[in-house]
Amino acid sequence: MEDLNNASPRPTAGGQTSSAHIHQSDVRFQRGVAPVSSPDLPAARLTLPGVMDAEGRVDESRLRMHIFKNGGVSPSERGLVWRFLFGMYPCSSTALERSLLQEQLVERYRVMKRKWQQFLPSAVRLHLNGTDAELVAAVRYFDQRQAQAKLQTQDQPQEVQDRLAFLELQAQILFERITFDQGELREAIRIIDKDVPRTNRDLSYYQGEGSGNLLVLRDILITYAAFHPDVSYAQGMNDLCSRFLEVLDSEVDTFWSFSCYMEKFSKDFRADGLHRKIELEAALLKELDPPLYAHLVTDNMESFTFCHRWLLLGFQREFEHSDALRLFEILSCDPPGAYLPTSRPSPLSGKACTKMQRSLQGTLDLNSTLKKAEHHLYNYCKRCAWDYMNGHCREHKSKDEDFLYQLRSLLVLK
């Protein structure tokens, strides 16, 4: 089986791809050709004042510092920012190049989805038992949306249809040698079909006719699992992918942005990857708050199992929803020359520590948490610098440098 990690197109400046399996001639920007009018092009020509030049190129360093210094971005900016932040759009690309690149990504995604659907036609539709009325309605809304999208495609000008047909042919050639393991893919789909209905349906994005977005989420996850067999699907990915889908509101853009994110953090969904994060968390807590660490050890809680979900989903359920989105982009911005604050609990009494084992869903305030975390980190850095100035940490130099590296790693920074 060929892994798409070595074959999937990854956008770079000018719309070319970085994969060794894709020749540069696969991407030919046609200057002066009008971009496709499509619901999958919601942000190709928007602007970001202060970080984007007249032709649409983004200063990546300024973008990341903007996110860091302002504690995230406004909801109106978030969709476009995430397309750059997570790598779907190359920061060096112009607005025209992004419009044409988007056409290519749309066609490649459609070919990829159609390929697994033809391989497992029985898995195209979610099998319902009829007891979940909301899910039955979701399937109905999804089918209606699919029919409308098909009509819109047929109404496009002939010039546009010809160009998209060419891009579709390119995509078919690109993926023709990709094969699937039927057993592995069926198992991934089985788990996806259990997890997708469990996605937070209280969000307005999945309410009413929006319930059809659950089926969009399902298609994205199956397509990702089919073309990334080394990662496939693991529980928790639905919540992460749902975050992208809600913000980007585009099936195609969500797939590519989520794929770029998983290139860096797919290891977190493997047992060894999460175990490493837990080890780092224990080491950091021991360094920053020895009394709390000692208390956890005394109560046989040094395995830190209570915070697996926090690390895996980036505190998605511990903060109010809008704050969780903001925290996710802050943790992902990795600004040059800056250390990112982390949400670390203050020293707790035994009674408070017992409460920590209970659900913290939606109970934490992001702004106060970040301020406290920044204060703790500042104190640590100041203490470390003071030790160096006094010549008392020469033998511990490698330890402190490793600690700062571990801190960044724990915060899922690159």
For 39-89, how does the pLDDT look when each residue is reduced to its tens digit (9 = 90+)?
A: 344 444 456 778 999 999 999 999 998 898 888 899 999 999 999 999 999
pLDDT reported for residue 396: 53
In the chain, where the domains are located: 4-268, 270-410
pLDDT reported for residue 122: 95
Contacts for 125-131: CB closer than 8 Å, 24+ residues apart: 126/193, 126/196, 126/215, 126/218, 127/193
Q: pLDDT at residue 235 above 60? A: yes
Q: pLDDT at residue 32 above 80? A: no
Q: What is the CA radius of gyration of the chain?
A: 23
Count Cβ neighbours within 10 Å for each residue of 321-330 and write b for 16 or more, e otherwise.
bebbbbbbbb
- In terms of Cβ atoms closer than 10 Å to its own Cβ (0-12, 13-18, 19+), residue 75 is exposed
Q: pLDDT at residue 33 above 50? A: no
Average pLDDT of the residues in 114-136? 91
pLDDT reported for residue 18: 37
pTM here is 0.72
- Of the candidates 237, 219, 241, 227, the residue with the CA atom closest to the CA atom of residue 124: 219
Q: pLDDT at residue 25 above 60? A: no
Task: Check: CB of residue 220 under 8 Å from CB of residue 254.
Answer: yes
pLDDT reported for residue 39: 39
Average pLDDT of the residues in 125-138? 88
pLDDT reported for residue 156: 85
* Confidence band, pLDDT 50/70/90 cuts, at residue 176: very high
- In terms of Cβ atoms closer than 10 Å to its own Cβ (0-12, 13-18, 19+), residue 337 is exposed
pLDDT reported for residue 130: 76
pLDDT reported for residue 414: 40
Selected residue with higher pLDDT from 370 and 51: 51
Average pLDDT of the residues in 182-186? 96
pLDDT reported for residue 408: 53
Question: How many Cα neighbours within 13 Å face the side chain of 204?
Answer: 3
pLDDT reported for residue 335: 60
Main-chain phi, psi angles of 319, to 5 degrees: -115, 160
**Each residue of 269-292: pLDDT tens digit?**
776 766 777 777 777 778 778 888
pLDDT reported for residue 38: 37
Helix (H) / strand (E) containing 216: helix 213-227
pLDDT reported for residue 405: 56
